[in-house]
Amino acid sequence: MTEHRPGRGARLLAPAAPTSLPRTLARIALGGMLAFAGISHLTVAREEFTAQVPNFVPFSEETTVVASGIVEITLGSALMLLARRRIPIGWAAALFFVAIFPGNIAQWVHARDGFGLDTDTKRFVRLWFQPGLVALALWSTGAWRDRPRRRRDRG
């Protein structure tokens, strides 16, 4: 008799098991930071975020800043409120941090000031925070630890 195993997609969307208090607090803090940054995209820091839009983006700087702000608000809210779906949200947040990394590189390469990053050294040092955000998204949600793993069939 063959055992039925749900597909990878079903496992990813299944409610996640509870996680530790430090991870939970970090996930909520990261969510709050993302939501705050997203709101800033749409209000007080729009010009600062415009400095990070790479030249190769096919949309206007304004559209890019607004869209990324909406994504940040959505991801931040999800991180804070949807704990039972933390694994796919953690992966989405990590991928978002990877996707916006070219903006940080563009800010450094093109010497664009923004957020107090007014020297090449400050802009370069800022680049090293992005891998930390990716790691924090994966750790705080348990996304890497609890990722579905392929099991080899043993005959």
Find the domain containing 85 and state its range.
Answer: 20-141
Q: Residue 15 domain-assigned?
A: no
CB-based contacts of 33, cutoff 8 Å, min separation 6: 76
Has residue 83 been placed in a domain? Answer: yes
* Encoded tokens for 10: 């079903």
Does 71 reside within a domain?
yes
Summarize pLDDT for 96-141 with one digit per residue, the tens.
999 999 988 988 988 888 787 888 899 899 899 999 999 999 999 9
pLDDT of residue 24: 93
Q: How many domains in the chain?
A: 1
Q: pTM, whole model, 2 decimals?
A: 0.80
Give me the pLDDT at residue 54, please: 87
Residue 7 lies inside a defined structural domain of this protein: no
In this structure, is residue 106 part of a structural domain?
A: yes
Distance, in Å, from the CA atom of 72 to the CA atom of 89, rounded to the nearest integer, reads 12
Dihedrals phi, psi of 131, to nearest 5 degrees: -60, -30
Whether residue 92 is contained in a domain is answered as yes
Residue 5 domain-assigned (yes or no): no
Note the pLDDT of residue 63: 94
pLDDT digits (tens, 9 = 90+) for 9-68: 555 555 556 678 999 999 999 999 999 999 999 999 888 888 888 888 899 999 999 999
